[in-house]
Amino acid sequence: MHSETRKRVLVTAAGSGIGLVIAKAFVRQGAAVAVCDISESNLAAAATAIPEASCSVTDVADPQQVDELFDRVKRELGRLDVLINNAGVGGPTAAVEDISPADWNRTLAININGQFYCTRRAVPLIKAAGGGSIVNISSVAGRFGYPLRTPYAASKWAVIGFTKSAAMELGPHGVRVNALLPGFVNNARTRAIFTAKAEATGVTTDELEREILSRVSLRQYVTSADIAEMAVFLCSDAGRHISGQAISVCGNVESMC
Protein backbone atom coordinates (compact mmCIF):
# COMPACT_ATOMS: atom_id res chain seq x y z
CA MET A 1 0.00 0.00 0.00
CA HIS A 2 1.12 3.53 -0.63
CA SER A 3 1.25 5.73 2.46
CA GLU A 4 0.38 8.86 0.49
CA THR A 5 -3.02 7.54 -0.58
CA ARG A 6 -6.18 7.03 1.40
CA LYS A 7 -6.78 3.35 2.04
CA ARG A 8 -9.96 1.69 0.77
CA VAL A 9 -11.06 -1.00 3.22
CA LEU A 10 -13.77 -3.66 3.30
CA VAL A 11 -14.72 -5.27 6.63
CA THR A 12 -17.15 -8.18 6.58
CA ALA A 13 -19.67 -8.79 9.38
CA ALA A 14 -19.09 -5.26 10.64
CA GLY A 15 -22.60 -4.56 11.84
CA SER A 16 -21.60 -5.32 15.42
CA GLY A 17 -18.87 -6.80 17.60
CA ILE A 18 -15.26 -7.06 16.51
CA GLY A 19 -16.06 -6.13 12.91
CA LEU A 20 -17.70 -2.86 13.86
CA VAL A 21 -14.79 -1.93 16.13
CA ILE A 22 -12.32 -2.72 13.33
CA ALA A 23 -14.30 -0.59 10.86
CA LYS A 24 -14.36 2.32 13.30
CA ALA A 25 -10.60 1.99 13.83
CA PHE A 26 -9.93 2.28 10.09
CA VAL A 27 -12.27 5.27 9.81
CA ARG A 28 -10.27 6.99 12.56
CA GLN A 29 -7.15 6.37 10.47
CA GLY A 30 -8.78 8.25 7.59
CA ALA A 31 -9.66 5.22 5.46
CA ALA A 32 -12.66 4.96 3.17
CA VAL A 33 -14.53 1.98 4.59
CA ALA A 34 -17.17 -0.38 3.25
CA VAL A 35 -18.91 -2.82 5.57
CA CYS A 36 -21.32 -5.68 5.16
CA ASP A 37 -23.39 -7.78 7.51
CA ILE A 38 -26.07 -10.43 7.23
CA SER A 39 -28.27 -8.59 9.73
CA GLU A 40 -30.19 -5.58 8.43
CA SER A 41 -30.74 -4.25 11.96
CA ASN A 42 -27.06 -4.53 12.84
CA LEU A 43 -26.13 -2.86 9.58
CA ALA A 44 -28.53 -0.01 10.29
CA ALA A 45 -26.86 0.50 13.67
CA ALA A 46 -23.44 0.46 12.01
CA ALA A 47 -24.59 3.07 9.48
CA THR A 48 -25.50 5.32 12.40
CA ALA A 49 -22.22 4.64 14.21
CA ILE A 50 -20.04 5.18 11.12
CA PRO A 51 -22.09 7.26 8.65
CA GLU A 52 -19.03 7.59 6.40
CA ALA A 53 -19.13 3.88 5.58
CA SER A 54 -20.77 2.19 2.62
CA CYS A 55 -23.10 -0.54 3.95
CA SER A 56 -24.37 -3.71 2.25
CA VAL A 57 -26.52 -6.57 3.50
CA THR A 58 -24.55 -9.68 2.56
CA ASP A 59 -24.42 -13.35 3.51
CA VAL A 60 -20.77 -14.18 2.79
CA ALA A 61 -21.66 -17.88 2.52
CA ASP A 62 -23.56 -17.07 -0.70
CA PRO A 63 -21.14 -16.47 -3.59
CA GLN A 64 -23.76 -14.56 -5.59
CA GLN A 65 -24.28 -12.12 -2.73
CA VAL A 66 -20.52 -11.75 -2.42
CA ASP A 67 -20.29 -10.94 -6.12
CA GLU A 68 -22.94 -8.25 -5.65
CA LEU A 69 -21.03 -6.88 -2.64
CA PHE A 70 -17.81 -6.52 -4.61
CA ASP A 71 -19.56 -4.95 -7.56
CA ARG A 72 -20.79 -2.30 -5.14
CA VAL A 73 -17.38 -1.92 -3.47
CA LYS A 74 -15.71 -1.39 -6.84
CA ARG A 75 -18.37 1.11 -7.85
CA GLU A 76 -18.33 3.10 -4.60
CA LEU A 77 -14.68 2.88 -3.50
CA GLY A 78 -13.05 2.63 -6.91
CA ARG A 79 -10.34 0.28 -5.68
CA LEU A 80 -9.51 -1.88 -2.66
CA ASP A 81 -6.39 -1.87 -0.50
CA VAL A 82 -7.52 -3.92 2.50
CA LEU A 83 -9.89 -6.82 3.08
CA ILE A 84 -10.77 -7.85 6.62
CA ASN A 85 -12.41 -11.28 6.51
CA ASN A 86 -14.18 -11.03 9.86
CA ALA A 87 -17.47 -12.86 9.24
CA GLY A 88 -17.87 -15.95 11.38
CA VAL A 89 -20.21 -17.92 13.60
CA GLY A 90 -19.65 -19.94 16.75
CA GLY A 91 -21.49 -22.97 15.45
CA PRO A 92 -23.08 -25.65 17.63
CA THR A 93 -21.89 -26.74 21.06
CA ALA A 94 -22.44 -30.49 21.15
CA ALA A 95 -20.78 -33.88 21.03
CA VAL A 96 -19.58 -34.71 17.54
CA GLU A 97 -22.15 -37.49 17.14
CA ASP A 98 -24.96 -35.06 17.98
CA ILE A 99 -24.02 -32.35 15.46
CA SER A 100 -26.26 -32.26 12.42
CA PRO A 101 -24.72 -32.07 8.93
CA ALA A 102 -26.67 -28.84 8.41
CA ASP A 103 -25.06 -27.18 11.45
CA TRP A 104 -21.61 -28.45 10.42
CA ASN A 105 -22.02 -27.23 6.84
CA ARG A 106 -23.36 -23.81 7.84
CA THR A 107 -20.44 -23.21 10.23
CA LEU A 108 -17.86 -24.01 7.56
CA ALA A 109 -19.83 -22.18 4.88
CA ILE A 110 -19.51 -18.91 6.78
CA ASN A 111 -16.18 -19.33 8.56
CA ILE A 112 -14.01 -20.58 5.69
CA ASN A 113 -16.02 -20.64 2.45
CA GLY A 114 -17.00 -17.02 3.02
CA GLN A 115 -13.36 -16.02 3.38
CA PHE A 116 -12.57 -17.75 0.09
CA TYR A 117 -15.50 -16.12 -1.73
CA CYS A 118 -14.46 -12.66 -0.53
CA THR A 119 -10.75 -13.17 -1.12
CA ARG A 120 -11.18 -14.39 -4.70
CA ARG A 121 -13.07 -11.20 -5.54
CA ALA A 122 -10.81 -8.90 -3.52
CA VAL A 123 -7.49 -10.07 -4.95
CA PRO A 124 -7.89 -8.57 -8.46
CA LEU A 125 -8.85 -5.22 -6.92
CA ILE A 126 -5.94 -5.23 -4.46
CA LYS A 127 -3.50 -6.23 -7.20
CA ALA A 128 -4.82 -3.39 -9.38
CA ALA A 129 -4.24 -0.99 -6.48
CA GLY A 130 -0.56 -1.95 -6.44
CA GLY A 131 -0.74 -4.28 -3.47
CA GLY A 132 -2.31 -4.29 -0.06
CA SER A 133 -3.30 -6.47 2.83
CA ILE A 134 -5.78 -9.19 3.74
CA VAL A 135 -6.48 -10.08 7.35
CA ASN A 136 -8.42 -13.26 8.05
CA ILE A 137 -9.99 -13.60 11.47
CA SER A 138 -9.34 -17.06 12.90
CA SER A 139 -9.31 -17.90 16.62
CA VAL A 140 -7.06 -19.44 19.25
CA ALA A 141 -9.28 -22.46 18.50
CA GLY A 142 -7.25 -22.55 15.27
CA ARG A 143 -4.23 -23.85 17.21
CA PHE A 144 -5.86 -26.12 19.82
CA GLY A 145 -8.34 -28.93 19.93
CA TYR A 146 -11.71 -27.71 21.22
CA PRO A 147 -14.03 -30.48 22.46
CA LEU A 148 -17.75 -29.98 21.89
CA ARG A 149 -16.91 -27.28 19.29
CA THR A 150 -15.56 -29.40 16.42
CA PRO A 151 -17.12 -27.45 13.49
CA TYR A 152 -15.82 -24.15 14.85
CA ALA A 153 -12.31 -25.48 15.54
CA ALA A 154 -12.10 -27.22 12.16
CA SER A 155 -13.08 -24.03 10.35
CA LYS A 156 -10.61 -21.89 12.29
CA TRP A 157 -7.75 -24.31 11.60
CA ALA A 158 -8.75 -24.11 7.92
CA VAL A 159 -8.41 -20.31 8.04
CA ILE A 160 -4.75 -20.69 9.06
CA GLY A 161 -3.98 -23.00 6.13
CA PHE A 162 -5.83 -20.71 3.74
CA THR A 163 -3.92 -17.70 5.06
CA LYS A 164 -0.46 -19.23 4.78
CA SER A 165 -1.12 -20.59 1.29
CA ALA A 166 -2.55 -17.30 0.03
CA ALA A 167 0.38 -15.36 1.49
CA MET A 168 2.82 -17.47 -0.52
CA GLU A 169 0.78 -17.13 -3.68
CA LEU A 170 0.09 -13.41 -3.43
CA GLY A 171 3.34 -12.13 -1.93
CA PRO A 172 5.02 -11.61 -5.31
CA HIS A 173 2.12 -9.29 -6.20
CA GLY A 174 2.64 -7.12 -3.12
CA VAL A 175 -0.35 -8.57 -1.27
CA ARG A 176 0.21 -9.51 2.37
CA VAL A 177 -2.05 -12.05 4.04
CA ASN A 178 -2.19 -12.67 7.79
CA ALA A 179 -4.53 -14.30 10.26
CA LEU A 180 -5.54 -12.91 13.63
CA LEU A 181 -6.38 -15.37 16.39
CA PRO A 182 -8.47 -13.66 19.06
CA GLY A 183 -8.60 -15.29 22.46
CA PHE A 184 -11.55 -14.99 24.81
CA VAL A 185 -13.06 -11.65 23.87
CA ASN A 186 -15.19 -9.91 26.46
CA ASN A 187 -18.36 -9.57 24.40
CA ALA A 188 -21.89 -10.91 24.08
CA ARG A 189 -20.92 -13.67 21.64
CA THR A 190 -18.31 -15.13 24.01
CA ARG A 191 -20.74 -15.02 26.91
CA ALA A 192 -23.36 -16.85 24.83
CA ILE A 193 -20.82 -19.54 23.94
CA PHE A 194 -19.82 -19.92 27.59
CA THR A 195 -23.47 -20.27 28.58
CA ALA A 196 -24.03 -22.99 25.97
CA LYS A 197 -20.91 -24.89 27.03
CA ALA A 198 -21.80 -24.60 30.73
CA GLU A 199 -25.19 -26.14 29.99
CA ALA A 200 -23.60 -28.91 27.91
CA THR A 201 -21.08 -29.79 30.64
CA GLY A 202 -23.33 -29.37 33.67
CA VAL A 203 -21.51 -26.53 35.44
CA THR A 204 -22.48 -22.95 36.14
CA THR A 205 -21.40 -20.17 33.79
CA ASP A 206 -19.35 -18.58 36.59
CA GLU A 207 -17.52 -21.85 37.25
CA LEU A 208 -16.80 -22.30 33.56
CA GLU A 209 -15.56 -18.71 33.22
CA ARG A 210 -13.14 -19.10 36.14
CA GLU A 211 -11.88 -22.38 34.71
CA ILE A 212 -11.35 -20.91 31.24
CA LEU A 213 -9.56 -17.76 32.43
CA SER A 214 -7.26 -19.94 34.56
CA ARG A 215 -5.87 -21.24 31.24
CA VAL A 216 -4.99 -17.72 30.08
CA SER A 217 -1.54 -16.62 31.27
CA LEU A 218 -2.67 -13.02 31.82
CA ARG A 219 -5.89 -14.24 33.52
CA GLN A 220 -8.07 -11.79 31.64
CA TYR A 221 -10.18 -11.32 28.57
CA VAL A 222 -9.04 -9.41 25.50
CA THR A 223 -11.19 -6.68 23.99
CA SER A 224 -12.48 -5.99 20.51
CA ALA A 225 -10.27 -2.91 20.48
CA ASP A 226 -7.19 -5.11 20.99
CA ILE A 227 -8.09 -7.03 17.83
CA ALA A 228 -8.87 -3.87 15.87
CA GLU A 229 -5.57 -2.22 16.76
CA MET A 230 -3.62 -5.26 15.57
CA ALA A 231 -5.60 -5.37 12.32
CA VAL A 232 -4.85 -1.71 11.63
CA PHE A 233 -1.17 -2.28 12.41
CA LEU A 234 -0.90 -5.25 10.05
CA CYS A 235 -2.39 -3.17 7.24
CA SER A 236 -0.18 -0.15 7.90
CA ASP A 237 3.25 0.71 6.55
CA ALA A 238 4.66 -0.35 9.92
CA GLY A 239 3.50 -3.91 9.17
CA ARG A 240 4.73 -3.95 5.58
CA HIS A 241 7.07 -6.94 6.11
CA ILE A 242 4.58 -9.11 7.99
CA SER A 243 2.86 -11.78 5.92
CA GLY A 244 1.86 -15.40 6.25
CA GLN A 245 1.56 -15.14 10.02
CA ALA A 246 -1.04 -16.47 12.46
CA ILE A 247 -0.92 -13.90 15.24
CA SER A 248 -2.65 -14.59 18.52
CA VAL A 249 -4.12 -11.69 20.48
CA CYS A 250 -5.17 -13.65 23.49
CA GLY A 251 -3.19 -12.99 26.67
CA ASN A 252 -1.47 -16.32 25.92
CA VAL A 253 -4.20 -18.93 25.99
CA GLU A 254 -2.45 -22.08 27.16
CA SER A 255 -5.19 -24.57 26.26
CA MET A 256 -8.87 -24.70 25.33
CA CYS A 257 -9.77 -27.59 27.64
Digit-by-digit pLDDT tens for the chain (257 residues) are 444 479 999 999 999 999 999 999 999 999 999 999 999 999 999 999 999 999 999 999 999 999 999 999 999 999 999 999 999 999 999 999 999 999 999 999 999 999 999 999 999 999 999 999 999 999 999 999 999 999 999 999 999 999 999 999 999 999 999 999 999 998 888 888 888 889 988 999 999 889 999 999 999 999 999 999 999 999 999 999 999 999 999 999 999 87
Identify the CATH number of the domain defined by range 8-184+221-249. 3.40.50.720
Domain ranges in the chain are: 8-184+221-249
Q: How far apart are CA 14 and CA 88, in angstroms?
A: 11
Dihedral (Cα; 228, 39, 162, 243), 10-degree rounding: -20
Residue 253 confidence (pLDDT) = 97
Indicate which residues carry an active-site annotation. Answer: 152
**pTM, to two decimals:** 0.94
- Dihedral of CA 122/127/128/133: which sign? positive
